[in-house]
Amino acid sequence: MQDHMIVSHDDWLTARRNFLKAEKELTRLRDKVAREQLALPRERMDKDYVFDTLAGPRSSADLFEGRSQLLLQHFMFAPGWTQGCPSCSFMADHTDGMNLHLANHDVSVVAVSRAACRS
C-alpha cells in the first residue's frame, strides 16, 4: 500500500486543481484521438470468408444479419486450450446485454475463435 502525504486543505486544493488540469488535458486528447479514429477510412472486405457455426457454414456477409455494421470480436481460444482468454470471456459474459442496444444502432455482434464448434 502506498503512503500518502497528509496536508492542509489549502495544499490539498492546490494539488487537486493541478491534477484537474492534467485530467482535462487527457480528456481533450482522448476526445481528439476518438474523433480521429472515427474519421479513419473504411476498407472494403473483398474476400468472402466462411465460418463454421452451430447453424452450419456462414459467409462473412451472413454475419451482418441484414445490418450495415459488424462488430467482430476475435475470441482468443485456440485449439487445445481448456478455456478462453479471461478478457474475451468477460466480454462474452456481457454481450447479451449490449446486443439489443447495438442492434438498434444497426450493428451485429459476432465472436470468432479457432476453438472447436460445439453446442
Comparing CA positions, the residue from 82, 86, 83, 58 lying closest to residue 72 is: 58
Looking at mean pLDDT, say which of 9-18, 88-97, 101-110 comes out highest. Answer: 9-18
pLDDT score for 44: 83
Provide the 8-state DSSP code for 55.
Answer: T
- List the grid coordinates of 20: 484537474
83 neighbors 89 (Cβ within 8 angstroms): yes
pLDDT score for 43: 84
**Average model confidence (pLDDT) across the chain:** 91
pLDDT score for 118: 60
pTM of the predicted model as reported, rounded to 2 decimal places: 0.61
HSE on the CB side for 31, CA within 13 Å?
A: 6
How many residues are there in the chain?
119
